[in-house]
Structure 1
Amino acid sequence: MTPLVFIDGDQGTTGLQVRQWLSGRTDLRVLQLPPEHRKSTAHRAEALNDCDLALLCLPDDAARGAVALVRRPGVRVIDASSAHRTAPGWVYGLPEMEPAQAARIAAAARVSNPGCYPTGALLLLRPLVEAGLVPADHPLAIHAISGYSGQGRAGLQAHEGAAAASAPPLQVYGLGLQHKHVPEIQQHAGLAHAPAFVPAYGHYRQGIVLTIALHQRLLPAGVTAAHLHAALAMRYAGQPCIELQPLGGDVDAQRIDPQTLNGSNRIRLAVFGQERTGQVLLAAVFDNLGKGAAGAAVQNLDLMLGLSAAHTQGPFTAVPDLRAA
């Protein structure tokens, strides 16, 4: 029997992206509620219990409520919100996080999709912490800039709606240093202390660039950029969704375009080093709507349903532009 998938919240930014990515596939069926039933708890509960896999593209509280509506034991759930990313009983949906993670996801009944920023931070940090190259108590500061679609419909409206001309070119936020992604990063990276996390939205639609600066004097003796690069290369060898940029070259001439992997479920990692100052920069670039959200959800869906991984590579169609509406 072809598996039946229900996307609860298919009109939001992530939900629309997932729905478009799944369109045209013949190896699964997508259950959609008519517009007049989308906010009906009774109709949603029926759909949640009729499907084989429910993909929740909802705010945190609504996602918790949706999980409570699932009564049939055979229903499997992927939650794209941040409600369950550190919760017991949920498998963290980052397949490349460690060698056995994809198998855990494939066998799980409850999977929590990772956050967009944590995806980049964890894929950079976890292998290095596990290898002892970055101490678990290292004082970390993580900086990231996302396209405004990371803010959801509010971001799309602000930058593509009637008042788009007054939208800020860059908006740094989370200045209280209590962003909801911090516990997720700390737990899954194996950090002893919460990192300082400074996110921002840029005046472009989608794509993330995330950087983490390290000081070699605070790393174990003898650890260099080359050691960090080699550890990442070993961890991600053969992973189709992860690219590792070669080490070396004219680093000062290099630039990072946050939009370079838009429309895909891939992420590019890089290590830059300056021996004179003893400084290292870790970097990740990926699509906040791809590997940072909908692409990751489809990747987890395919793992859980035992379907072809070829669907997770992209490209996919962007969410509608409000200026064309």
Structure 2
Amino acid sequence: MKPRIFIDGEAGTTGLQIHSQLSNRDDIELLELPRAERKDPQKRSQALNECDIAILCLPDDAARESVSLVKNPRVRILDASSAHRSTPGWVYGLPELTSGQAALIAEANRVTNPGCYPTGAIALLRPLTERGMVPRDYPVNVHAISGYSGSGRSLIEAYEDPNHPEPISAAFRGYGLSLKHKHVPEMQQQALLTYPPLFTPSYGKYRQGIVLYVPLHVRLLQAGISAKQIHDCLSEFYSDAKHINVIPVEQAAKVTQLDPEYLNGTNSLDIYVFANEEAGQILLAAVFDNLGKGASRAAIQNLNIMLNNVSQ
């Protein structure tokens, strides 16, 4: 019998992409509700309790409600919202996080899909803090720009709908200026940081793709730590990772600008290490698709691990 998958919230930005990627697969059965029944609590509850794996693509409060509706102990949940990313008992769904993480995902009943920005920040920082290359109490700054799709349907419509009552045409907008962005606890926890990172997100006038930076000052690192050692640590850590690629030093040295869109439509994440040795400065950079490795394709990766079907 094929595993039954139910996407709760399939009409949203992430839900639509996940549905599109799963709809032609013959190794699973998609349980779907007619449009008129998608907000019916009884119908949703029935689907949630009849499936093998429920993928939640909902706002945080709605995701918590869906979890409360699941009474069948055999139902496993993959939550793409941010509702449970720091909740005890939920396995963090970044298979590359550390040794053995994929095995935890494979056996878990509750998996929380990473946020888009945290995916990049954690991919850059976790190997370095875990292995002592960057002190865990380092004053981390995370700067990022994303395509406007990262803010969901309302912003997509404001940019793309010619008849929108409040259209947006700004080329660039910074936000999260309270310094209390909901992704900060997730970054701190999974990157093993003593203190919350200072996170400054922004979005540009393009649909999708992220460039994320973490600057490092050599004077604040352990004596003798160099950009090459940082690069070597990241390269070794991700040497067996299928979806995370550390760009060779020689190739990165020739890069003069980073395009946030070049990995769109993929589940890949590229890591760069730039350096100004005279100034004692190192710049870590991650490029990836906020709707791919930052959302839907990461969810599919986790689903495949939960199904023990990593060939997909």
Name 2:238's counterpart in structure 1. 236
Specify the SS of the correspondent of 2:39: coil
Return the alpha-carbon distance in structure 1 between the equivalents of residues 208 and 180 of structure 2: 23
Return the alpha-carbon distance in structure 1 between the equivalents of residues 116 and 90 of structure 2: 18
Name 2:268's counterpart in structure 1. 266
Specify the SS of the correspondent of 1:137: coil
Percent sequence identity over matched residues?
55
1:144-169 C-alpha deviation (Å, 9 max, x unpaired): 00100001101211110125974211
Specify the SS of the correspondent of 1:248: helix
Name 1:168's counterpart in structure 2. 170
Return the alpha-carbon distance in structure 2 between the equivalents of residues 129 and 275 of structure 1: 21
Equivalent pair of 2:252/2:273 in contact (CA under 8 Å): no
Name 1:322's counterpart in structure 2. none
Name 1:286's counterpart in structure 2. 288
Name 2:11's counterpart in structure 1. 11
Amino acid at match of 1:134: V
Specify the SS of the correspondent of 1:128: helix
Name 1:45's counterpart in structure 2. 45
1:113-157 C-alpha deviation (Å, 9 max, x unpaired): 000000000010000001111101111110000100001101211
Return the alpha-carbon distance in structure 1 between the equivalents of residues 120 and 40 of structure 2: 36
Match of 1:185 among 169, 187, 192: 187
Return the alpha-carbon distance in structure 1 between the equivalents of residues 264 and 179 of structure 2: 28
Query: How far 1:252 moved relative to its partner?
Result: 6.4
Name 2:75's counterpart in structure 1. 75
Return the alpha-carbon distance in structure 1 between the equivalents of residues 14 and 239 of structure 2: 29
Equivalent pair of 1:269/1:283 in contact (CA under 8 Å): yes
Amino acid at match of 2:147: G
Amino acid at match of 1:243: N
Q: Name the Cα RMSD after superposition.
A: 1.2
Amino acid at match of 1:181: H
Runs (5+) with no aligned partner, structure 1:
312-325
1:42-75 C-alpha deviation (Å, 9 max, x unpaired): 0000000000000000000000000000000100
Name 1:207's counterpart in structure 2. 209
The alignment's TM-score, normalised by the length of structure 2, stands at 0.97
Name 2:197's counterpart in structure 1. 195
Identify if the C-alpha distance between structure 1 residues 250 and 305 changes in structure 2 by more than 3 Å, giving closer, same or farther: closer
Return the alpha-carbon distance in structure 1 between the equivalents of residues 168 and 70 of structure 2: 44
Name 2:307's counterpart in structure 1. 305
Identify if the C-alpha distance between structure 1 residues 247 and 79 changes in structure 2 by more than 3 Å, giving closer, same or farther: same
Name 1:111's counterpart in structure 2. 111
Name 1:149's counterpart in structure 2. 149
Equivalent pair of 2:252/2:272 in contact (CA under 8 Å): no
Equivalent pair of 2:7/2:56 in contact (CA under 8 Å): yes
Return the alpha-carbon distance in structure 2 between the equivalents of residues 2 and 256 of structure 1: 42
Equivalent pair of 1:248/1:272 in contact (CA under 8 Å): no
Runs (5+) with no aligned partner, structure 2:
none
Identify if the C-alpha distance between structure 1 residues 250 and 82 changes in structure 2 by more than 3 Å, giving closer, same or farther: closer
Amino acid at match of 1:117: Y
- The answer to whether residue 134 in structure 2 is matched with residue 137 in structure 1 is no
1:156-189 C-alpha deviation (Å, 9 max, x unpaired): 1111012597421101000010000000000111
Name 1:21's counterpart in structure 2. 21
The alignment's TM-score, normalised by the length of structure 1, stands at 0.93
Return the alpha-carbon distance in structure 1 between the equivalents of residues 308 and 48 of structure 2: 20
Structure 1, 165-174 or 282-291: larger mean CA deviation: 165-174
Superposition pairs for residues 306-321 of structure 1, below 5 Å? 306-307=308-309, 309-311=310-312
Query: How far 1:249 moved relative to its partner?
Result: 5.1
Amino acid at match of 1:66: S
Equivalent pair of 1:93/1:113 in contact (CA under 8 Å): yes
Query: How far 1:250 moved relative to its partner?
Result: 7.2
Name 2:221's counterpart in structure 1. 219
Amino acid at match of 2:178: G
Return the alpha-carbon distance in structure 2 between the equivalents of residues 133 and 182 of structure 1: 21
Amino acid at match of 1:274: N
Equivalent pair of 1:117/1:292 in contact (CA under 8 Å): yes
Identify if the C-alpha distance between structure 1 residues 93 and 64 changes in structure 2 by more than 3 Å, giving closer, same or farther: same
Specify the SS of the correspondent of 2:88: coil
Structure 1, 165-174 or 225-234: larger mean CA deviation: 165-174
Query: How far 1:255 moved relative to its partner?
Result: 1.6
Query: How far 1:254 moved relative to its partner?
Result: 2.4
